[in-house]
Amino acid sequence: MKSWLDEVTWNAEGLVPAVAQDAASREVLMVAWMNRESLERTVASGEAVYWSRSRRKLWRKGEESGHVQRVVELRMDCDSDAILLRVEQEGGIACHTGRERCFFLKLEQDQWVTTDPVLRDPALIYGRK
């Protein structure tokens, strides 16, 4: 029997980009990648699980930081090659820099300007202090 997972168009590496959007603030928090297993686990657990391309392993968001993402809604786009998660972001922090979202570099007059306050020192988040 064909699974909903079979309807996703995985790329050559077996991945799709996944966009996480905060259900409350509606900000786009981050873009990460999912393989079949991570998407399956995301739905089974109700918490975002990504595929870390750099570490080449499943990455349960928040496993180190505590900043888990509870999935409120999961969507796919018209050509089935991108996923959208509406999430409740634990701690209100998605980024490893301690900011709400990873998109804190804003283009202004041909320069990337760092915006958005650091809500919590990453050294505290990752227990190095």
Binding site for a copy of itself (CB under 8 A): 3-4, 7, 17, 19, 21, 26, 28, 30-31, 43, 73-80, 82, 84, 95-97, 99, 102-107, 110-112
Could you tell me the smallest distance in angstroms from the CB atom of residue 74 to a copy of itself? 4
Q: CA 74, CA 83: separation in Å to the nearest integer?
A: 7
DSSP-derived letter for residue 77 is -
C-alpha separations of 61 from 3, 34, 71 in Å: 24, 12, 11
Looking at the DSSP bridge assignments, the partners of residue 73 are: 86
Could you tell me the smallest distance in angstroms from the CB atom of residue 15 to a copy of itself? 11
Could you tell me the smallest distance in angstroms from the CB atom of residue 127 to a copy of itself? 20
- Alpha helices in 66-127, H assignment, sequence order: 122-125
